[in-house]
Amino acid sequence: EDLFCVTEAKPSEIEKGIWQNMVELDSTCSTNRKRKREEYFFDYVYGAVSTRDHWIFTVFTSELEMAATSRSPRLLNIIAEEPDHKQLKQQVAELFAIIGGLLQDKINTALLDPKQKRERAQKLFASKKRKTIIE
């Protein structure tokens, strides 16, 4: 089962990258659905769009009714002429903590039935930290 999709985007085309990521997440949900073969299937998949120094996190549901992005991008100060290595180390640690948390959530929900996954996804979309794209 696929858990996470990352899309690389040009800084000038971040919106295009977000939509490309949503297409990849939709495809992932479809692939996961085919593997399960359950009468009622519901899942959600996380993703990220990166321009190298900007990271936006996404989530998408298998029923195509909800999709969202993080409200603001996570920044990595890697393009400065003389980056602050201590600050960069902290930013990278935060980035990996977010990715690790998303993967941990998928592991923790892997054995839930579709109804429980749907409830979990609805809680995610109710979070004020997300900007809903489709509802």
Residue that wins the pLDDT comparison between 132 and 18:
18
Contact in structure between 5 and 45 (CB atoms under 8 Å): yes
pTM: 0.75
pLDDT digits (tens, 9 = 90+) for 30-63: 887 776 666 667 778 889 999 888 888 888 887 7
pLDDT, residue 135, reads 42
Domain spans of the chain, in order of start: 4-134
57-102 residue pLDDT tens: 888 887 765 666 776 777 776 666 777 888 888 988 998 998 898 8
